[in-house]
Structure 1
């Protein structure tokens, strides 16, 4: 140890030793920097392993010769070209071979072998290079330092590769480079301490020996250039690799996440559910979520507002699922929540709170919209032990909740599957029936109570199914609304009704119901006018009936649309007055021609004084506003008489005429006229 220290401080120029150390540090760091950026395989990986070997072998060789430039043995020295070049090749090729072995074997003997090959190549580089030292002196080596130099170099080289492999990622470059630095430095100075140049007058400096100063300048410049280029290439590749990796990560994230909301998508949801099930998680709920009034909002305000609604809904759901749950978007306004829970009461409370949160209006710029949500809940593992079953049964429960009125949640119960399959079959058949124009109009007369004459007909819909028989509207209209088929069905039925009634005696007016969701279609007046024009049907003979539910979402939009209808000379009637959101403001601000008293008041008016008083008030109010009045659901002669006495103009109900297909409805006025000529009561 004393000889080694004396060699460093007495036989070396410390400034050049410091330069050699700087080159060595840079080379060692560059080696592991390149290794840390290795990705992929094939020729590209081999090229980068060669670059790492070049940095290691070339950096070690440069360190050796710059340090030799600072070696001052007290007599002139030079270098043999062949041995000098050979030492460089040994260092580079040996380091490359060691790193190839290191890359192929992650553990065990392969790792040790890689370290020994690396250490051996550094030892060989040094001693072959020393064999090329030429001076008028003989070389004398002390084996008690030569052998430790090999052991130190090999031991630190093995340690450098192991440290890089085992250290935490943020520290492994420092760990590997530090130990490789010790391997090179311990070898050089221990070996130099083992060397004694004994002057020998019989030996002369060869004339062709490389000048040490010229060699030092060449080596230092070449080493600096090589290190700079190597590290620059590694940095460029690291940046390219990082960019490619980031792009790949973005692509992978896009494949598993919804682009609009950022929530996991269907594929991600399925994988997560399978993971939840495989990990034997405690009970968790799979909640199918459907936004109740999303389509009308989207149609009324446009897709930009619709997207904003979806983003806000996604945020609410993600917050509800945190920290242990999971929220995903399947598409459209369909979402799924995965909620671990400890008690059913706690789950019910959480779902109720979330339903209430969705019931609050959303502020979107200048607009305020109410959307609402409905949930269907399946419990794992009780309702299913695989992702597909749980998702299907959550959907089944969702169908039930939507059928019960929306804005609520429903748990899956066994037996629901059959009902959902039945409903799915009905939906499938309905699509075909609408496409093939199989939904037909039925006509129920609107009778003048005073004279008994028919002043018009309400157009009702029926579905003559080949297997189920005549299906009533309350069985399929909700499905048509929910699936977006209602517009096509309405226009098909209107077109058929216009053609059938165009030439009926007396040119009766026909009255058509419009679903609330259809009022959000700003092009509705133009579409209706197009149908009327196709059939040559006068707009003045059409009356549109709508309920007040259709008005509450956006009164200004409703006012504009109804004004367009009025400009076309279409009459407008407010249906089911007295229920829902009845408001005098609607009668005052919107251009209604008449209103229809809901059948619930008519049914009870004969036995309930309060119902009778309500009917009387409605009739008087309508007259004062200049509106016509029609009473729905007249089932008895007594009801008809009382309504006539109250001043109600028109009536509708089974007592006055049942709904009938085109042929039977056309014959009804003739039969009625014959009864009147025979002296029968107008309403008999």
Structure 2
């Protein structure tokens, strides 16, 4: 019992003793007073015993005061007990969802593992994490985020069996503990599937509806490592977490059981994250450049900047490996700005007619100050705005089209060109293309590289180009990997193109050397109007390595 309550309970007993003593005294005094009154009446004396009367009245007052004090102390003790119970509840439960918290779940799980595990009895830990929950808060506000979390918890609780437990571990991560019979392990699979289905239903809050998905990972108490330095509960929860992160890596909105190789993958992922953070600080991310050619004349017209990671431990790492991780851990903006600054410095040495294209991550487009940051870098490096082309993907249009429109307008007002990258893969609508002031469309390489193989691709490319003609938007074709594709594109007239048919992406120094050979550096007295020599690439490994990924 807390010291404060013990002290107040002692005062309570003292007060109660005083009250009882006063009552006993009252009984004695009242008896004497009644006997005296009876004797006075029998003797015909009309004057009462004043001393007994005063004692009786004082005794009554003492009883009333004592009783009121006893009631007050009792109320104070009850209030302190309620506060203690509330403190204990807050220590053990999540206030928003009513679920257990991490600390209390770990204690209860350890007890459950001791009681309910055996040859045919096991416990499953089911780790649940909402996909892209940060965007829910950023785009819809924390009130909607809280509504999503509380609704998610309620829907999960409604599906859990009676003996199961659920905890909110923090943020948007939950963990369920479900005892099960090892002969019916598919029961956990069925439960996970039902949870995914129920959570995918829209959450309505103040007239707005939002849809979320979840990633689920599960681990069984049969997989607990007896030699682990962690407690059995911690080991089980850790394995469920690993399975959940594996589900996220495999595309989200899905469910996986823990398997030992996943632990090695997660360890490698953690090492990659640490390496990327160090690499950003150390300037290990460098720009490479891919040629952009006018297909009618064969003339070099510009370069697209691509990111590479020159890692001391891993060597040269391609962007499809580090860009998604950099976006998730929040360093993509810093990385991209470093690469853009380096690209401005490089491109300042080129022929002023050559343009520079830079890809922008959807994560950066959520920053309301993004356009101002780009313009500030242009001023800092004195790079002409008309030579810069910003490329954004179609997925940006579905997150906050109002903000995207404002950014595009700000950039174009300063002379920067803006193109829609990977067109055809992100379901951009015709109305969006008409309302947003794009300068160019880039047809995704997946449509270009299969030209002449499937009639459907030819027709689709033809439809895209016809639409762009109607919108008066020039076209860039990505993925020109051989002369056959180049010939196939010839039927559609004036286009700009890029791909391995013209050479692999190259570092800045190699680009400067080739431009110097062609007389197309900024300090050349007379720039020759000739294209760089073609350099077809047949190395399929190099093609696969770049994979169309860009700098953030």
Q: Same fold (TM over 0.5)?
A: yes
SS in 1 for 2:466: helix
Query: Following the alignment from structure 2 to structure 1, what is the Cα–Cα distance between the partners of residues 535 and 495?
Result: 14
Q: 1:455, 1:623 → 2: CA distance?
A: 21
List alignment gaps of at least 5 residues for structure 2: 42-46, 226-230, 521-527, 537-552
Q: Which of residues 428, 447, 459 is equivalent to 2:305? A: 459
- Contact conserved, 1:598 with 1:632, CA < 8 A, in 2? yes
CA contact (8 A) 2:299 2:531 kept: no
Q: Which residue of 2 aligns with 1:272?
A: 108
Look at both structures and tell me which one has the larger radius of gyration over its CA atoms.
Answer: 1
| CA distance 1:345–1:53, change in 2 (3 Å) | same
Residue deviations 1:406-442 (CA, integer Å, cap 9, x gap): 1112111122111111111111111111123221111
1:627 maps to 2:473:
yes
TM-score w.r.t. length of structure 1: 0.69
Residues 341-364 of structure 1: CA distance to partner in whole angstroms, max 9, x if unpaired?
454333223222222333334334
Q: Deviations over 1:40-62 (max 9, x none)?
A: 335x5544333222222332232
Residue range with higher mean Cα deviation, 655-664 or 523-532: 523-532
Deviations, residues 525-580 of structure 1 (Å, cap 9, x unaligned):
12222222222223322222222222223434433333333333322222222223
Q: Greater CA deviation, 473-482 or 238-247?
A: 238-247
Give the conservation status (yes or no) of the 8 Å contact 1:397–1:413: yes
Match of 1:55 among 19, 38, 44: 19
1:594 maps to 440
Q: Which residue of 2 aligns with 1:511?
A: 357
The answer for the alignment partner of 1:227 in structure 2 is 63
Distance 1:451 1:298 in 2: 50
The answer for the alignment partner of 1:483 in structure 2 is 329
Distance 1:308 1:406 in 2: 21
Structure 1 range deviating more: 337-346 or 609-618: 337-346
**Could you tell me whether the CA contact under 8 Å between 1:258 and 1:265 is conserved in 2?**
yes
Partner of 2:488: 642
> For the aligned residues, what is the CA RMSD?
3.1
Q: 1:325 aligned to 2:289?
A: no
State the match for 2:544 in structure 1: none
Q: Is the 8 A contact 1:446 1:458 kept in 2?
A: yes
Distance 1:679 1:70 in 2: 128
Distance apart, 1:672 and its partner CA:
5.5
Report if aligned partners of 1:65, 1:216 keep a CA contact under 8 Å in 2.
yes
- Structure 1 residues 233 and 681, CA gap change in structure 2 (3 angstroms): closer
Q: Secondary structure at the match of 1:658?
A: coil
Shift of 1:381: 4.1
| 1:215-614 to 2 correspondences below 5 Å | 216-280=52-116, 282-321=121-160, 323-341=162-180, 343-365=184-206, 367-383=208-224, 386-614=232-460
1:666 aligned residue:
512
Of residues 273-282 and 651-660 in structure 1, the stretch that sits farther from structure 2 once superposed is 273-282
Q: Distance in 1 between matches of 2:530 and 2:335?
A: 42
The superposition leaves residues 14-56 of structure 1 with CA deviations (integer Å, 9 ceiling, x where unpaired) of xxxxxxxxxxxxxxxxxxxxxxx997335x5544333222222
Q: How many residues get paired?
A: 513
Residue 581 (structure 1) shift: 2.1
Q: Which has the higher helix share?
A: 1
Does the CA contact (< 8 Å) of 1:299 and 1:521 recur in 2? Answer: no
Superposition deviation, residue 626 in structure 1 = 0.9
Q: Retained in 2: the 8 A contact 1:456–1:508?
A: yes
Q: Which runs of 5+ in 1 are unaligned?
A: 1-36, 78-210
Aligned-partner SS, 1:551 = helix
Q: Do the aligned partners of residues 353 and 463 (structure 1) sit closer, same or farther apart at CA in structure 2, a change above 3 Å counting? A: same
**1:453–1:682 CA contact under 8 A, matched in 2:** no
TM-score (norm 2): 0.84
1:515 deviation in Å?
2.2
CA–CA distance in structure 2, aligned partners of residues 409 and 565 of structure 1: 42
* Alpha-carbon distance in structure 2 between the residues aligned to 1:572 and 1:680: 25
